[in-house]
């Protein structure tokens, strides 16, 4: 729970900031409806992850979006399609 801005508003503000707009944003939620998917895309998040999330899925998403920014090779996990 975020008391001032919700996650969608926060991501939208990040996308407007010149120093933060390139940062990957992965939204995590217990919501599993199509509205969550649509709102996540509309606000500019890179991906949505639904709870419960496995370590395998979480690390695979980090490797996909964060490793390239850090210029490190991704971990070698069994195939996970996001």
Instruction: Give residue-wise pLDDT tens across range 9-43.
Output: 999 999 999 999 999 999 998 887 888 888 998 99
Give, as one character, the DSSP assignment of residue 23: S
- pTM as predicted: 0.75
What is d(CA 71, CA 68) in angstroms, rounded to the nearest whole number? 5
User: What SS3 state is found at 77?
Assistant: coil
Please state, in angstroms and rounded to a whole number, the distance separating the CA atoms of residues 61 and 63. 5
Residue 28, helix vs strand vs coil: strand
Q: Determine the pLDDT at residue 80.
A: 52
* Cβ-Cβ contacts under 8 Å for 2 (sequence gap 6 or more): 10
């Amino acid at each position: 729970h975020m008391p001032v801005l919700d996650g969608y508003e926060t991501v939208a503000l990040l996308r407007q900031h010149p120093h933060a707009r390139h940062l990957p944003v992965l939204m995590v939620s217990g919501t599993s409806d199509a509205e969550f998917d649509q709102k996540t895309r509309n606000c500019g998040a890179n991906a949505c992850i639904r709870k419960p999330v496995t370590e395998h899925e979480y690390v695979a998403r980090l490797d996909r979006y964060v490793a390239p920014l850090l210029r490190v090779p991704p971990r070698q996990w069994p195939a996970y399609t996001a």
